[in-house]
Amino acid sequence: MKITSRKIGLISCSGEDLPEGTISRVATRRILEQRDDTVTICLPLFLAGGQGERDFAKENPCITVDGCEKMCAAVGVKKYGGVTPRSSIVVSEIVGRLKWPKPTSKSKIAAEDEELVRKTMKIIDERIKIVKEGKD
Amino acid sequence: MSEKRSKHIIIPCSGIGKGVGTVARRATYIVTDEILPRETETTCLPLLTIEDKEAVEKVRTNPCITIDGCIAQCAKKNVEYHRGNLKAAINVLDVLKQNAGLKPGTVLDIGPDGEKLANKIADTIAKIIGDTN
């Protein structure tokens, strides 16, 4: 179904204990600042917040951006929102698919990892287009 | 054989909506990577949110210090929900009140004041851990 009015929910894992979590966080935040058709929620609010927070994924078609194969954001949307994300992106899969070196820094985006952030942003943008056009 | 000592687990909220979330995250890395790398580590907060068994076990068996950016207190509440060993809970907003002149920047760039705040929080945590040990 083509989406005309609702905003796209972007949910990042922002995992603290791995560099891919920092990539997911920064790429997601940059997209949020560039596009006014997206909205986000802090993932841990699904547990810490109330029903209003848990309904976020029902009210906004969601794209999850996870750092690793545990896919906390995607699992969180299903567990608390009761819906499947419209699209799921995993940074470690991008790294593997492109055969790029793994990012190394959790605390900042190293210069050599900027390209990975940009690639992740490009994929998020593409998925937003697909979801908005109802082609997912 | 030496007994393995438990590490303090520093858990920030990493809120993606406000600069204070990034201050919490930055303070964590100052502690775990720079000040007390052998005594501390972090874990992914979202793992607690999805009730990952390994992460839940970690917060139950090690002393935890949470750093939250806003009144929702996601990090503290996630640890409490799992009956984690919560030693201390810090809120960046409280530290801001005590340092009213400091204005942290944005989520992507907390700026020099955000760095100062993160360092103050990190120092507080180091003191808590020092007092505990």
CB A86 within 8 A of CB A33: no
Task: Render pLDDT for B30-44 as a digit per residue (tens, 0 to 9).
Answer: 999 999 999 999 999
* Contact predicate B43/A17, CB 8 Å: yes
pLDDT tops 80 at residue A1: no
Domain ranges of chain A: 8-130
Domains of chain B (ranges, CATH numbers): 8-127 (3.40.50)
pLDDT of residue B97: 96
Q: Which residue of A has its CA nearest to B47?
A: A72
State the SS3 of A25-57.
Answer: HHHHHHHHHHCCCEEECCCCHHHHCCHHHHCHH
Cβ of A107 and B45 within 8 Å?
no
pTM of the entire structure?
Answer: 0.94
**What mean pLDDT comes out for the span A26-43?**
97
Task: Please report, rounded to a whole number, the percentage of residues in chain B having pLDDT higher than 90.
Answer: 92
pLDDT at residue A4, rounded to an integer:
60
What is the H or E stretch that residue B60 is in? helix B53-61
**Cβ distance of A47 and B15 shorter than 8 Å:** no
At residue A121, the pLDDT reads 98
Q: How far is A3 from chain B (nearest CA, A)?
A: 24
Q: What is the pLDDT of residues A16-31, one digit of tens each?
A: 999 999 999 999 999 9
Beta bridge partners of B90: B67
Q: What is the mean pLDDT of chain B?
A: 95
B2 pLDDT above the threshold of 60: no
For residue A108, the chain B residue with the least C-alpha distance is B26
Beta-strand pair A38-40/A8-12: parallel
Mean pLDDT of chain A: 94
* B84 in contact with chain A, both atoms CB, cutoff 8 A: no
C-beta separation of B22 from B33 below 8 A: no
Task: Categorize the per-residue pLDDT at B1 as very low, low, confident or very high, splitting at 50, 70 and 90.
Answer: very low
List chain A residues with CB under 8 Å of B50. Answer: 70, 72, 75-76, 79
The yes-or-no verdict on residue A46 having pLDDT over 70 is yes
Look at residues B36, B118, B125 and name the one whose alpha carbon lies nearest to residue B89.
Answer: B125
The answer to whether A31 and A10 have CB atoms below 8 angstroms apart is: yes
- Cβ contact B46–A76 (<8 Å): yes
